[in-house]
Structure formats: C-alpha cells, structure tokens
Amino acid sequence: MSEPSPTETDYCDVFNHPDADIILRSSDNVHFKTFKTILSLSSPIFKDMLSIPQPPTSRAFSRNSDPLQSYKDGLPVVPLSGNCSAVKALLSFCHPCENPTLGSLEELKAILELARMFEITFIPNSVEPQLVKFAEEEPLRVYAIACIYEMRNVAVQAVRFSLRKPVDEIFPGRYAPLAIEYELISAQSIFRLQRYRVDCVAVIMGMPSNDFRNLLCGWTHHCLSCAKRSNSGKSRLAPYWSTFNDRALEALRERPCGDTVLSLRLLAPSLKMICEDCPDKTAENMAEYVERLSKHVDMIIAKVEITLPF
C-alpha cells in the first residue's frame, strides 16, 4: 500500500472530538478537530475570524493552503502556518487539560509565534517557567527570544545567567557563529546585555579591601612563618588568602558571578600554600571564606540595574 499524500494525513489523535465544529490544519497537513467557542475565548483574532462566514486573510494562514479545500468531513478547515507540534501545543494550552512540556527552544519559539499571531496573551506566561529552564545553558538564545516576545521576567533571568558564561561565549569574535535569534533583535538589546556585564565587573572590581576582611568573620588568617607584609606594612597577609583573592578577582572579570569563586581550580593552588605553622583548620576556614565570598559577590551584583529595551 502506498504512503498517504501530505493532504491525506489523518487527524491528530488527541484533538479528534466527534462533536467538534471546526478543524485546524497544520502546515504539515495534520488536522485538529476542536471547538469554535474555545478558540474564540482564547483569542480575539479567532473570535473575529469566526464571527464572519468566510475566513479572512491572516498572516497566520499558510500561504500554500488550497482555498478550494476549505471543508473536511463537513467541517470548515482553517489552515495555519505552524507545524503539527506547534498547533498541538497551542490547542493544549487553550483547552482544559494539562499544559504540554516543550522539549526544545525551537518548540517554545513556535508556540510563542503562534500565540503572538493570534494574540493569545496567557500562553507566554504559561511557557515562562519552561523557557527559563533553558537559560542556564543557553542564556544568549533565551535572552534573544525574551526580547523578541517582550517577556521581561525571562529576559532578566537570562541576563543574570549570562554572567556565568565566559565573555567570549556571550560576545563571540568576528567569525564565530551567532545564535539565529540574534538576527531578530535590535543592536540596543545586545548593547544593554553588554552594558550590564560591564557594570557587574565594575562593581566587583570596586569592592573595598575591608569587604574581603569582613568576610573572614573573625578567623585568624595570619601566620608568622609564611605571611608577608601588606603594602601598608600594618599587617601580615597569609599568601594562601591574598593569592586566592587575586586569582578570584581575575576570574571574576571573565565570569562576574558568585559561582566563579567556587571553582576548585581557583582554591587548590592556595591550599597548597598552607604551611605546617599555619593555624589549625586553615583549609576548612578557607572553604568557608570562599562560600561567603561567593554569596557576597551575588549580593552586590543583584543591586546592579538591568535595563531592557522593552
């Protein structure tokens, strides 16, 4: 038996209610039986479109749809530009059922685009938690998507996650590939992202030396055997402590966030500097100091203003 042609594709197994009064057809020719009332309540575009006898021209309609095939099994057919998975997700959000889990940024973009086309305002809020989950690994793309669809909360979280990435990953070189979403956002959006990162680095580099000392919380980090005089000559600094701070500040220029200082790669060289005359529990105290420094860094960058282009 030959394979069915694209126009013969059967109905979606989920949206195939026998009492349905309208059919939506995806761009890959999958048919979805649904109800005009649900569509009208979800979308003012659908409401207007379904209030008149003939379907109006809409940018959400597929340009390749055949206007002669406007009915199937006695029901009117509305062709959409979204593919099967996008239309299925759209209807899942509109119907009284569990919201779908979207497994990729491409799926999230497709549903957001359909939601924008039909002015379904509750869908962006519904997918926001799913979109944020991708921000930790792909903050650049999530930020761009948030800018395109003006999702402020998502954009703010993506901007903050971007601090965990090295600067050359966020702003790659001239010949490095860019995320496709970057082609759809303004230069101002990119500038705001860069400006925030610069501001975060500046506030970290501007931390007074007393901030570092206060984070010791009374721990005695002096050692007469290995400590060196400070620049002022008024105190003796243990090399493991001062060296770690220098290395941490250098790393924070590239990744200005608290997670940066938690790297064992930063701490290990300092721990090797601990001599046999250093105070007891110096290694444990250093680990606690690193934790406090990490939290302090996150606290001060949380005060840096994030300005968005929308």
Question: Quick one: pLDDT at residue 302?
Answer: 95
What percentage of the chain exceeds 70 in pLDDT?
A: 83
Residue 127 resides in a domain: no
Q: Is residue 99 part of a domain?
A: no
Domain-embedded: residue 256: yes
Least Cα distance to 64 among 113, 7, 121, 116 occurs for 7
- Gap between the Cα atoms of 169 and 87, Å rounded: 34
Query: Which pLDDT band, with edges at 50, 70 and 90, does 226 fall under?
Result: low
Give residue-wise pLDDT tens across range 194-220: 999 999 999 999 999 888 888 877 666
For residue 235, is pLDDT > 60?
no
Question: Whole-prediction pTM value?
Answer: 0.80
* Residue 234 falls inside a structural domain: yes
Cα distance between residue 67 and residue 48, in whole Å: 19
Mean pLDDT within 260-274: 87
Residue 151 lies in a domain: no
Looking at residues 276-303, what average pLDDT do you find? 88
pLDDT tens for 170-191 read: 877 666 677 788 888 998 999 9
293 lies in a domain? yes
Residue 59's pLDDT is 46
Query: For 237-241, what is the mean pLDDT?
Result: 77
Task: Please state, in angstroms and rounded to a whole number, the distance separating the CA atoms of residues 294 and 20.
Answer: 57
260 DSSP 8-state letter: G
CA distance 22 to 25: 10
Determine the pLDDT at residue 67: 41
The sign of the dihedral angle between the CA atoms of 49, 55, 56, 62 is: positive
Question: Amino acid identity of 100?
Answer: P
Number of domains in the chain: 1
Model confidence band, residue 273 (pLDDT cutoffs 50, 70, 90)? confident
Is 274 inside any structural domain?
Answer: yes
Q: Which domain holds residue 254?
A: 206-301
* Distance in angstroms (rounded) separating the CA atoms of residues 20 and 15: 9
Task: Answer whether residue 56 shows pLDDT above 70.
Answer: no
Q: Which residue has the higher pLDDT, 108 or 99?
A: 108
Examine residue 228 and state whether it is found in any structural domain, yes or no: yes
- pLDDT of 225 > 70? The answer is no
Residues in CB range of 138: below 8 A, 6 or more apart: 105, 179
Angle between helices 152-162 and 122-133 (to 10 degrees): 10
Mean pLDDT throughout 74-82? 90
Phi, psi dihedral angles at 302 (to 5 degrees): -65, -20
Q: What is the mean pLDDT of residues 88-104?
A: 91
